[in-house]
Amino acid sequence: MDAIKLIVSEDDELNRLDKFIAGVYEDITRSQLKYYFDEDKIKVNNKIVKPSYPVQIGDEIIIEERNNRNNYLDAEDIPLDILYEDDDIIVINKKSGMVVHPAPGHYEGTLVNALLFHCSSLSDLGGGSRSGIVHRIDKDTSGLLVACKNNKAHRFLADQFKNKNDIERYYYAIVSGVIPHNLGKINAPIGRDPNNRQKQAVVSGGKEAITHFEVLERFHNHTLIKCRLETGRTHQIRVHMAYIGYPVLNDPLYGIKKQTTEFGQYLHAKTLGFIHPTTLQKMSFDSELPIEFQEKLEELRNN
């Protein structure tokens, strides 16, 4: 039976095992994880351990599927918006609502499933469930993401993301409230919310997190901003904007309230730049805002 494999890296937040897995797979609940532990479906370095096991850098975590499926990583013919592709990398404009990689209980319809169908090979440094994946964006965030077809390219790009060397990331967001100043920098550490494990928060002792933003357009009760990330923490823009009182519109986790639309939060990874792993040339990609995002902007301009 196939299984999900995770390798604990230097970039991961070290914690007890159950909290670590829950941090990687935000859609799985603690009660769901309990069933995996009760059935000895989770092993660390090929040994059965308790949920309280403290993970260490280099640990290999195996999560076996609980049902009788023979292959949790099915290649699926899912349309992809591909901006660029060669023998090393593929750049995709991910739609809102698509999960980047499979997680326990969620094995279909992800970007990895689509990549497995489209690409003849993908890197495997992140484990089978994260084939090709160097970095992630949230399920309900749309926009640009680069995946790798081989381990050499993966290592090269992973080093860029880790050290912030030559990585260029710009996001567009619609936030609630009217921001009075044109430019801003948020330097506030982010970690797990002590009151809600499904959320991140600005906390003392959290990891360094820096977000720059620029106001592009103001509306009656909202603002369109452009954000630049210096760091890449989980939910960073969503947490930071909520922290200063201007949460991303339609954000069900950090926003004022869930709006009456099926579209996710109005946050789009618009620009992505990096050094190519083979040519060593700087590459930069820009993407169109989703139609739902554009329609919301027109609605705000007309109100």
pLDDT of residue 71: 44
Q: List pLDDT tens digits, range 252-295.
A: 889 876 565 678 899 999 999 999 999 999 999 999 999 999 99
- Give the pLDDT of the chain (303 residues) as one tens digit per residue: 357 888 888 777 788 898 888 877 765 666 668 778 887 889 999 999 998 999 999 999 998 876 533 345 788 899 999 999 999 999 999 999 898 887 766 678 899 999 999 998 898 877 667 788 999 898 899 999 999 999 999 999 999 988 877 899 999 999 999 999 999 999 999 998 888 877 899 999 899 999 999 999 999 999 999 999 988 888 999 999 999 999 999 998 898 765 656 788 999 999 999 999 999 999 999 999 999 999 999 999 998
- The type of residue at 251 is D
Q: How far apart are CA 244 and CA 148, in angstroms?
A: 36
3-state secondary structure of 139: coil
Output the pLDDT for position 108. 81
Q: Exposure of 147 by Cβ count < 10 A (0-12 exposed, 13-18 middle, 19+ buried)?
A: buried
If you count them, how many residues does the chain have? 303
Rounded to 5 degrees, what angle do the CA atoms 259, 226, 139 make? 50
Amino acid at 280: L
Per-residue pLDDT, 68: 39
> Residue 205 carries which side chain, given as an amino acid letter?
G
Q: Where are the beta strands (DSSP E) in 45-167?
A: 47-48, 60-64, 82-85, 89-94, 142-148
Task: Find residue 89's DSSP bridge partners.
Answer: 148
Distance from the Cα of residue 165 to its chain's centroid: 19
Choice among 88, 138, 140, 251 that is catalytic? 138
Instruction: Give residue 147's pLDDT.
Output: 95
Query: Is 138 considered catalytic here?
Result: yes
CA distance 15 to 56: 8
